[in-house]
């Protein structure tokens, strides 16, 4: 296979160390060498650019494109799958070559990307969001109607459950359907009609069953967890990552440090809800109020977690906000106290470790899969990064070329 030399640029290797001058050689879809005086069959001129590992987004919803309640009623069922293809492409054009879908994408979407039918980041999928009756994933409205962001279908089982036995069955059905990770709501949330982000959902006994079922199949659990006690319940149960983490206190942070629990902040999510409401999205007054209430405390909690040394991985909740704007999360992470190098590491090597790709993706290192992003200028200028993505390579194949971004 052709040896490709990325020549004349700087390299951010994913570890958090500052970029350095070096060339990179790719062969057979892997990084073959990093250094100087290297040779190859084909040369990519990288003068004036920085090479990054392919980026990760650890919390997306690729089948969700609009949170307006009225629009949810108006789309034919299958429309979501065509939107997913578009959303994945928009995400790839940002240099994000791997995502974890936090509810919505089924095995068909994952396989379509893996088989090359659609262009986008590779996927880890959770398929459905496990919720108790009246919980964050229960889309029952006061009218008696349900307005779900994602409808159940044969590849996406229903996931509203109560009690350990129903929890066990839901876990097994999701794993049978191809879930790479199981997602559970241990607290209320912003976009659910009748609960409070601070309130706890599911008992420790129910969570213990879920974690045990996942572990027996070599899988992890991620938790939508915004309220303090629900975060603590998730950590004590052995859940691998806390998604959002809005109301962290000192004990929650100490528990996360003791258990090695990851935090995926999604700082952009409540901001996206507020923006959508201001743009005219049909949301309830309660949803808008909750988004406004949590935005400031969210940023404060993440800042304290960063200061304490909690492990952070990048995630956006895209779908709540527009796909293709994922990199807006990065300056918010920097504002929460992370250095630009730490933000990029959280978006590459740390995210890869969380998702189980730590030995093959997330770093520019010989033997690793050749996911590379060519960025014009200074990659540490995080606010300007979306407009500086020049090329994207996935497993040694150029999937986004100069000028091809929309």
Query: pLDDT for 317-343, tens place per residue?
Result: 999 999 999 999 999 999 999 999 999
CA distance 157 to 154: 6
Could you please report the per-residue DSSP string of 184-202?
Answer: EESB--SSSSS--TTSB-S
CA distance 291 to 244: 12
Helix (H, G, I), strand (E, B) or coil at 371: coil
Pairing mode, strands 49-53 and 372-376: antiparallel
pLDDT at 72: 79
Query: pLDDT for 160-214, tens place per residue?
Result: 999 999 999 999 999 999 999 999 999 999 988 778 999 999 999 999 999 999 9
pLDDT at 406: 61
pLDDT at 195: 87
pLDDT at 71: 82
Cβ–Cβ under 8 Å, residues 14 and 345 = yes
Burial class, 169, CB count within 10 angstroms (exposed 0-12 / middle 13-18 / buried 19+): middle
pLDDT at 215: 98
Q: CB atoms < 10 A from the CB of 155, how many?
A: 14
Beta strands in 70-216 (DSSP E): 96-101, 122-125, 129-130, 181-185
Cβ–Cβ under 8 Å, residues 6 and 26 = yes
* C-alpha closest to that of 242 among 139, 354, 137: 354
pLDDT at 343: 98
pLDDT at 24: 98
pTM over 0.75: yes
Half-sphere exposure of 64 (CA within 13 A, CB side): 24
- For the chain, 406 residues long, the average pLDDT of each consecutive 10-residue run is 94 96 98 95 97 98 90 89 98 98 98 98 98 90 78 93 98 98 96 88 98 98 98 98 97 98 97 93 88 93 98 98 98 98 98 98 98 97 98 97 77
Q: Tell me the domains of the chain and their CATH numbers.
A: 4-53+363-400 (2.30.40.10), 55-355 (3.20.20.140)
CA distance 278 to 266: 20
* C-alpha closest to that of 128 among 85, 169, 69: 169
pLDDT at 331: 98
């Amino acid at each position: 296979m052709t040896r490709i030399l990325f020549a004349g640029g700087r390299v951010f290797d994913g570890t958090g160390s500052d970029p350095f001058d070096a060339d990179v050689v790719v062969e057979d879809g892997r990084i073959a060498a990093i250094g100087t005086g290297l040779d190859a069959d084909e040369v990519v001129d990288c003068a004036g650019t920085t090479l990054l590992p392919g980026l990760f987004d650890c919390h997306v919803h690729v089948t969700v494109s609009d949170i307006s309640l009225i629009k949810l009623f108006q789309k034919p069922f299958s429309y979501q799958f065509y939107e997913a293809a578009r959303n994945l492409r928009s995400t790839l054009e940002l240099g994000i070559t791997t995502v974890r879908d936090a509810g919505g994408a089924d095995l068909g979407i994952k396989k379509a990307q893996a088989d090359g039918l659609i262009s986008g980041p590779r996927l880890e999928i959770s398929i459905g969001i496990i919720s108790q009756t009246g919980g964050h994933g229960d889309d029952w409205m006061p009218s008696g109607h349900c307005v779900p962001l994602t409808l159940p279908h044969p590849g996406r089982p229903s996931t509203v459950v109560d009690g350990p036995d129903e929890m066990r069955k839901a876990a097994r059905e999701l794993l049978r359907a191809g879930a790479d990770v199981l997602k559970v709501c241990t607290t209320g949330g912003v976009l659910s009609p009748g609960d409070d982000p601070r309130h706890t959902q599911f008992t420790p006994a129910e969570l213990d069953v879920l974690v045990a079922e996942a572990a027996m199949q070599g899988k992890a659990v991620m938790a939508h967890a915004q309220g303090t006690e629900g975060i603590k319940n998730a950590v004590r149960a052995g859940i691998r990552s806390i998604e959002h983490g809005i109301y962290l206190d000192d004990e929650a942070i100490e528990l996360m440090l003791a258990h090695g629990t990851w935090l995926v902040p999604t700082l952009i999510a409540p901001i996206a809800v507020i923006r959508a409401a201001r743009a005219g999205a049909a949301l309830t007054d309660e949803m808008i109020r909750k988004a406004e209430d949590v935005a400031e405390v969210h940023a404060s909690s993440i800042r304290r977690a960063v200061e304490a040394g909690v492990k952070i991985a990048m995630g956006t909740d895209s779908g709540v906000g527009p796909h293709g704007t994922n990199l807006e999360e990065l300056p918010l992470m920097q504002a929460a106290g992370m250095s630009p190098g730490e933000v990029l590491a959280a978006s590459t090597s740390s995210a890869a470790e969380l998702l189980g790709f730590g030995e093959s993706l997330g770093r520019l290192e010989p033997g690793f899969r050749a996911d590379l992003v060519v960025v014009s200028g200074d990659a540490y200028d995080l606010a300007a990064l979306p407009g500086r993505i020049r090329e994207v390579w996935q497993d040694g194949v150029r999937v986004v070329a100069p000028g091809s971004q929309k």
